[in-house]
Structure 1
Amino acid sequence: MAPNPPSLPLFLLPPPTVLLPSVVLALGVTRPDNAVLISALHRQTLASPGDRLVGCVTLVNATQSEGAAPSDSAATDGLTDSDSDKQIVKHGLSTIHHFGCLARVVRIERGPTGQLQVVLEGLSRFRITSLVSAEPYYTANVSHFIDAPLDATDIPTYTLVAQLKRLARDLITFLKSSSSSSSSPSSSSQPPLAATLPTNPRAIRRLESVVNHSSFQDSGKLADLLVFTLDVPVEQKIALLAIEPTKERLAKAVELLSQQINMFKISQSINTSVDTNLNKKQRDFLLRQQLKAIRQELGDKDAEANEDEDIEELTKKLESANLPAEAEKVVTRELKRLKRMQPTQAEYQVCRTYLETLSEVPWSTATDDKIDGAMIRAAKEQLDHDHYGLDQVKRRLIEYLAVIRLKSRGQDKSVIEKAPILLLVGPPGVGKTSLAKSVATALGRKFARISLGGVRDEAEIRGHRRTYVGAMPGLIVQAYRKAGVINPVILLDEIDKLGENSVHGDPSAAMLEVLDPEQNNSFVDHYINIPIDLSKTLFIATANSLETISAPLLDRMETIELSGYTYLEKKHIAQQYLIPKQIVANGLEPGQVTITDDALLKIATCYTREAGVRHLEREIASVCRGKAVEFASLYEDEIEHDDIKGKYEAVVTEPEIEKYLGMEKFENEIANRENRPGVVTGLAYMGSGNGGLLFIEASKYYSGSSGGGGLQLTGNLGAVIKESAMLSLTWVRAHGFELQLVDSRTENPLAGFDVHMHAPAGAIPKDGPSAGVAMTVALVSLLTMKAVPADLAMTGEMTLRGQVLPVGGIKEKVLAAHRAGIRKILLPARNRKDVEHEMPANVKEEIVFVYLFSIWDALAEIWPETVRPVAIVESRL
């Protein structure tokens, strides 16, 4: 063989081809520089016969196209000894590995297609020291590796050689079994072989012969041949090419052979396991084919195709839902599960329903608020158009909109965080629900309503877990699905009627996270099980009373109280909203029913006794139905429309109300009361936002020899109001001399008499401290035989020293007194703020308010001739 030349022409091998010593390789010549090189070698052989030697090196990446010539744009040598760890050489557009294999060109020929082919035989290793030239082909100076003979007496070396041959025989055994299995069409237990492994029996026998006849000194060449046969990455083959000591190459070859054979064994084990389940899969496939045939016979030919189309449509919906990162992971996992399942499986429908729910939740879809310069004015007009009065709640809503307007300057108008949680408290029929709708209209947002009345299960708020049969999301998530956006206005109706703690959990506690602006940006529904942002939603809750709402839940909401309407407000509401609405609802046209102000006032006073206007609307509907009967009866007589106008009277006056509504349902309580001693009109809070009158009647009777001063109470009174009666009696007996009931401080003003106090109606339970002033005045009136005016009412709690303390429900009590015809009210002085800030203007104009510091102020107001004791005169400074 010719000596190893220091300079070699380079034949560039396309990746992942690597030529190792003792390997014979046939390649097609595609690169122009390689073609020039082969042609030059061919001419050289014709001129002077001899070995045609080339250096075969592998390209790292071929950015240069196969048909392009080498470029001289970077003609400098590209060898970087300092980067020897990378083991690459860069030159122009070509990047080649640092190490290569000296090869002899065995044969040069033309293929059937005319392409030039060359057969190369690997001889020895070399390392590039420098590039000589790039034209017309690459030439480099190289340093050759000379294999030293192996030491047969070295036990580690001997062991490596023996291990290499054992692994080689195992590889050949596996190749034989794979080759025989692949030739049988009925067997599929073996995995497909890699492209580099020999697959035909002749090549396997040739490899077996080389293994069996290789000598101890040829072990290095055998290692190169076996590694070239394996399906290992090109980097590992280059690493083996760079190893100079034969012993180290043997160790590397043993390592790679062991890895490859272990992979074959694992793959074979997996395929064997697959074969054991093949019968079951074939059976399932047969049954599915039979089911498909049955469906076709039944006319449901497209069931399976429709199912695939539904899954594809669901996938598109989920992709367009703009899911958050966490939700996207869950959806990807569940979609894979769904596609692996058959529609007949029980879990299939559960998984599909869950994905459909996720696709319908508006994760990021939002409506743009009407945030512009005219927003505040438009909101005021909208609220005034929809509701009469309710100035306090309107003012608070306008404040909220104004804050949104200012915070949106220079920001994204669609992002408004931490919206307030408003709680509208008031009696039924005052417009709490319709206010929420007006706010949604003013903001340009979607509106959704959740009815919480009667909700007893925590799962109805947080949703059911998917492990339960029939699981579904909670009311909150369902409201978002209905609204279709993430920032709607949600009305939580009747939150005071939410169920309390029970065996099914505490729904009120479940609402805490929903209504907490600091937590609801990551609300987790048990069914969805993915955090949902509720912070962009404007929650408006309604309630009739605060007593049944838990303290933690009430703390999370901003309370706005809506009291009842006055008669003037009811008249305006009826004219602007109720009458036009009922005219259309009863088949009439605008202008065909007109109810006078006096008639409306009579309906409100004599046929309704409520804080709201719901019952008033029913009575107006009755009047409209009566007019509809009159109008329709004229059609039955076949009278022309022009004549109907002359015969039909659209105006309803006060005397006609009784014709449509029957006898009066309520009488004026004040008008029926006589001005007699011992009878006083008090004020009471009736619950659900309603106030009313509480009459106190006192009478004395002869007690005989018992000494007098006893007290008897009737009228279904509670413990607190009974204590107020006892306190009033004690105060009157203690101040009998100051009240001029007796001539001496030691005398008993009730000597020989007992007192009976009654509060009609007896069937209605009554309790509370606010009747203390009225009971005391009733006793004084009874004992002094002075009557209290019928149009005067009073409320307030009294102490044993005669001080008057404030009470609650002032607005409701005053409105009830105004509806009943009261024209003067005695109130505790510390309730003055309730009158000034909450009372309608017309009520303050029509009623005289007198504020009391002590019970003597009440007596002096009722009977000016009352002499106030000097000792109890209090400073007003």
Structure 2
Amino acid sequence: MEGMGMEDIWVWLVMQVVLVLSIYLVAKRAKTSGTQEVKKPKHGREECREMRELKQMRARSLSMPLSERARPAQMDDIIGQRDGIRALRAALCGPNPQHVLIYGPPGCGKTCAARLVLDEAKRCPDSPFDGDSRFVEVDATCVRFDERSIADPLLGSVHDPIYQGAGALGAQGIPQPKPGAVSRAHCGVLFLDEIGELHPVQMNKLLKVLEDRKVFFESAYYSGDNTSIPRYIHDIFQNGMPADFRLVGATTRRPEELPPALRSRCVELYFKPLSDHSLCRIALGAATRLGYGMEPDTAMLLASYCASGRDAVNMVQLAAGAAYGEGRRQITDGDVRWVTQISNCQRHIQPKIPETPKAGVSVGLAVGNGGVGVAIEIECLVEPARSKGAGALEVGGAVEYEELELQGRRLGRKGTARTSAENVLGAFQKNLGWDANAYDVRFNIPGGLPMDGPSAGIALAVALMGAISGKAPIPKLALTGEITVQGEVRPVGGVAEKLDAAIQGGAHTVLIPKANWEEAYASLPCDVIPVEDIAQTLRLAFDIPYELTVTEGVIPLLYTTA
């Protein structure tokens, strides 16, 4: 440092101090860098927190609901739908699967069957379904769509740049086709639950897809000459997006409420309402899965309050909860009655045909809500007219007036049940020589059930005959059939459902129109007899021998009321 002035020495010292401090700070930073976190952008920290919370939510769950534990694992586990399952297999588990519509009331097994049929079809050697075939489920009540095709989860949509504007393609003004459920179900099964609730616009588009087996998209932003558009987008706009699937639609609506164009493209299957015995089996199975015991009589009591399989499972779960609270592992009648009271359940009692018939009373067969057959009692009272030659007709419980939609017009007409009663009086007057104007006639349907439709005709005729003659019909008789003023018996609908109701009601003999007769009815556990006119109906109903003298084809009447 010789030859340096004081000023130079001070400068040198300052530089040495600065160098030492710099080395110290670098060393300290290097030491602490391994333990300190590097600051992340704010949005990165937020993403980590949300992901951590999401993982924590996925790691926790409640116990599996009994409705899921009781869900059938294979087709043969579905209770009470043997014929429906067989028909579904015939439609889909073969070399040429078809589109299917399944009708039936809620909770009868339609959804379970639809979910399981694809797995069964894949096991068939000749089936076109393979291991890659997908089952895509859509609830028609929740399908949203936009008439501009901006969003359509069922059929697919086009993300136009003006509406979406996201991503590299959107920035370049290129429309982006997005596949819907019909394309995701390509070479598989599309299950459309509650298909009867699908919007008419969506229904028409779906019919086009079923016809073409592909989906076509449109966009004002697409041009075949635009070389910046990727080849696959050109292919989709020009050739359509594949959508070759088999549709399985389920609905609680009646067939006539669905578009004829849809019905004509599908095989129609019918799942019957579950009987009390089937509901009893479901209840016993649900109790077993919960680890509780239940006597068959208790399960049958529970079934008498249920309208569907879901009702049975829910009631079992609540009854098991009541037993658990008291430290029991057995569900009792008391538990079931408590559940019915707290849930305000109404007991449904299957109408039974009386053992002893009465004069002026007959049992008709009808189809009620949900396509369920039901036996209804019909009473008749005949009295001399209050005003001579001015007999009156009264039909209690009949629908007096109904409205129809016809070609966009709403029309009103007299109820068909009353018309049927008028036809019966006319047939008696024409064929039996009975003067209806001399008597007041009253028909009644006990129990408050509304009677509509013409199928009660021959049941009304038998009730009237009994009221006139004072004779009771043969025991355990049930009837269905329209009657004309000429005395002819015409065909009616829902005969299969009506026969089920008659059998459950204990009928021994059932009279149906001859035009409705099928050979399969001969094997039923009751005598199903076809009839074609009022004379034959009354002979069979009142066991009038054919050798009895008949004048001009008219059965003699033994009047007890004058």
CA contact under 8 A between 2:80 and 2:275: conserved in structure 1? no
* One-letter code aligned to 2:312: L
2:554 is the alignment partner of 1:856: no
Offset, 1:690:
2.0
Deviation sequence 1:606-652 (CA, Å, 0-9, x none): 323x4x43333333334333333333xxxxxxxxxxxxxxxx56374
Q: 1:432 aligns with which of 103, 110, 121?
A: 110
Distance of 2:396 and 2:428 partners within structure 1: 20
Q: How does 1:816-831 map to 2 (within 5 A)?
A: 816-831=501-516
Indicate which of 418, 429, 449 corresponds to 2:137: 449
Give the superposition deviation at 1:478: 3.6
1:553 is matched with 262
Deviations, residues 134-179 of structure 1 (Å, cap 9, x unaligned): xxxxxxxxxxxxxxxxxxxxxxxxxxxxxxxxxxxxxxxxxxxxxx
Distance 1:617 1:860 in 2: 48
| Aligned equivalents of 1:621, 1:422: Cα separation in 2 | 33
The equivalent of 1:607 in structure 2 is 305
Would the alpha carbon gap of residues 709 and 823 (structure 1) be closer, same or farther in structure 2, given more than 3 Å must change? same
The one-letter code matched in structure 1 to 2:532 is F
Partners in 2 of 1:872 and 1:454 — Cα distance? 62
Structure 1 residue 540: Cα displacement: 0.8
Query: Is the CA contact 1:421–1:515 (under 8 Å) kept in the aligned structure 2?
Result: no
- Aligned AA for 2:544? E
Number of the residue aligned with 1:372:
none
1:14-33 matches, within 5 Å, as none
Residue type at the aligned position of 2:309: V
How far apart are the structure 2 equivalents of 1:836 and 1:471? 65
Shift of 1:667: 4.0
* Structure 2 residue aligned with 1:563: 272
Residue 389 (structure 2) pairs with residue 694 (structure 1): no
Could you tell me which residue of structure 1 aligns to residue 440 of structure 2?
754
Q: Is the 8 A contact 2:282 2:312 kept in 1?
A: no
For the 8 Å contact 2:280–2:302, the answer to whether it is kept is no
Aligned equivalents of 2:286 and 2:551: distance in 1? 57
Residues 364-513 of structure 1 mapped to structure 2, 5 A cutoff:
382-398=74-90, 400-403=92-95, 419-442=97-120, 443=122, 445-453=133-141, 460=152, 461-463=154-156, 466=159, 469=163, 477-479=179-181, 486-500=186-200, 506-513=201-208
Residue 857 to residue 627, structure 1, CA distance change in 2 (3 Å): farther
Shift of 1:383: 1.9
What's the CA shift for 1:431?
Answer: 0.9
CA distance in 2 between counterparts of 1:786 and 1:470 reads 80
- Give the structure 2 partner of residue 706 of structure 1: 388
- How far the C-alpha of 1:709 sits from its partner, in A, is 3.4
1 or 2 for the larger relative contact order (CA 8 Å, sep ≥6)? Answer: 2
Q: Which amino acid aligns with 2:242?
A: D
Counting aligned pairs with the same residue, the percent is 23
Alignment of 1:146-157 (within 5 A): none
Deviation at 1:770, TM superposition (A): 1.0
Q: How far, CA to CA, are the matches of 1:720 and 1:470 in structure 2?
A: 57
Pairwise CA distance, 1:525:
4.5
Shift of residue 859 of structure 1? 2.0
1:780 aligned partner: 465
Equivalent AA in structure 2 for residue 557 of structure 1: C
Paired with 2:274 and 2:551, the residues of 1 have a C-alpha distance of 43
- Alignment of 1:795 with 2:480, yes or no, is yes
Kept in 1: contact 2:363–2:459 (CA 8 A): yes
Q: Distance in 2 between matches of 1:471 and 1:709?
A: 79
Equivalent of 1:681, from 359, 363, 366? 363
Structure 1 residues 299 and 382, CA, compared in 2 at 3 Å: closer, same or farther?
A: closer
**SS of the counterpart of 2:352?**
helix
What's the C-alpha RMSD, in Å, of the aligned pairs? 4.0
SS at match of 2:93: helix
How far apart are the structure 2 equivalents of 1:424 and 1:833?
Answer: 23
Matched, 1:543 2:245: no
Report deviation, 1:495. Answer: 1.5
In 1, distance between residues paired with 2:165 and 2:208?
21
User: Scaled by the length of structure 1, what TM-score is found?
Assistant: 0.43
Q: SS of 2:117's equivalent?
A: helix
Cα deviation for residue 870 of structure 1 reads: 7.1
Is the contact made by 1:388 and 1:572 (CA closer than 8 Å) also made in structure 2?
no
State the shift of 1:807 in Å. Answer: 1.6
Contact kept? 1:700, 1:755, Cα under 8 Å:
yes
Which structure has the greater CA radius of gyration? 1
Amino acid at match of 1:614: R
> What amino acid does structure 1 have at the position aligned with 2:119?
T
Structure 1 residues 455 and 765, CA gap change in structure 2 (3 angstroms): farther
Give, as a single letter, the amino acid of the residue that structure 2 aligns with 1:607.
Y
- Counterpart CA distance in 2 for 1:507 and 1:555 is 17
- Residue type of the partner of 1:726? E
| CA distance, structure 1, for counterparts of residue 518 and residue 286 of structure 2 | 33
Deviations for 1:63-105, whole angstroms, at most 9, x for unmatched residues?
xxxxxxxxxxxxxxxxxxxxxxxxxxxxxxxxxxxxxxxxxxx
CA drift at 1:599:
3.0
The verdict on how the C-alpha distance between 1:396 and 1:667 changes in structure 2, with shifts beyond 3 A counting, is closer
**Could you say what secondary structure the match of 2:423 adopts?**
helix
> Contact 2:111/2:193 (CA < 8 Å) preserved in 1?
yes
Matches within 5 A, 1:337-356: none
Q: How far apart, CA to CA, are the structure 1 residues paired with 2:246 and 2:267?
A: 12
In 1, the alpha carbon distance for the partners of 2:164 and 2:422 equals 60
SS of corresponding position for 1:704: coil
Aligned residues: 428
The answer to whether the Cα contact below 8 Å between 1:683 and 1:692 also exists between their aligned partners in 2 is yes
Asked whether the 8 Å contact 1:806–1:831 carries over to 2, the reply is yes
C-alpha distance after superposition, 1:160-204 (max 9, x if no partner): xxxxxxxxxxxxxxxxxxxxxxxxxxxxxxxxxxxxxxxxxxxxx
SS at match of 1:607: coil
SS in 2 for 1:698: strand
Q: Which sections of structure 2, spanning at least 5 residues, go unmatched?
A: 1-38, 46-72, 123-130, 167-174, 220-232, 402-414, 555-562
Shift of 1:433: 0.8
Gaps of 5+ in 1: 1-296, 304-380, 405-418, 501-505, 584-588, 632-647, 737-744
- Which residue does 2:53 correspond to in 1? none
Displacement of 1:815 after TM fit?
2.7
Per-residue deviation, 1:810: 2.0
- Report the CA distance between 1:469 and its aligned residue: 4.3
Q: Give the structure 1 partner of residue 498 of structure 2.
A: 813
Contact residue 456 and residue 507 of structure 1 kept, 8 A: no
Structure 1 residue 767 corresponds to structure 2 residue 452: yes
Matched-pair contact (CA < 8 Å) for 1:724–1:772: yes
1:532 is aligned to 2:212: no
Between the aligned partners of 1:681 and 1:669, the Cα distance in structure 2 is: 10
Contact 1:823-1:848 at 8 Å conserved across structures: yes
Aligned to 2:9: none
Q: CA deviation at 1:849?
A: 2.5
